[in-house]
Amino acid sequence: MRKEKDYYFQKAKKDKYPARSVYKLDEVQKKYRILKSGQRVLDLGCHPGSWSLYAAQVIGSKGNVVGVDLQETDLPSQKGHAEIHWLCYDVYSDDLIENLKKEWHGFHAVLSDMAPRTTGSQYADHQHSMRLVRRAMEIAGALLHENGIFYCKAFQGEDFPEVIRECKPLFQTVKVVKPDSSRKESREVFIFGRGFKRKKK
- Catalytic residue list: 153
Q: By CB under 6 A, tell whether 71 contacts ligand SAM.
A: yes
Among 6, 90, 103, 146, binds ligand SAM (CB under 6 A): 90
Cβ 87 vs Cβ 66: under 8 Å: yes
Helices (H), the chain: 3-14, 22-32, 50-59, 96-104, 122-143, 160-167
| Residue among 25 and 174 whose Cβ is closer to ligand SAM | 25
The closest alpha carbon to 45, from 114, 91, 97, 107, belongs to 114
Nearest approach in angstroms of CB 188 to ligand SAM is 9
The least distance separating ligand SAM from the CB of residue 27, rounded to whole angstroms, comes to 13
Position 97 contacts ligand SAM (CB under 6 A): no
- One symbol per residue from 111 to 130: x for binding ligand SAM (CB under 6 A), - otherwise; what is it? --xxx---------------
Q: State whether residue 78 is helix, strand or coil.
A: coil
**Beta bridge mates, 151:** 111, 192
Q: Which of 23, 28, 50, 188 binds ligand SAM (CB under 6 A)?
A: 50
Q: Which amino acid is at 108?
A: H
- The yes or no reply on residue 91 touching ligand SAM (CB under 6 A) is yes
Ordered strands of the 188-196 beta sheet: 83-88, 64-69, 40-44, 107-112, 144-155, 188-196, 171-177
List residues near ligand SAM by CB under 6 A. Answer: 18-19, 21-22, 45-51, 68-71, 90-92, 113-115, 132
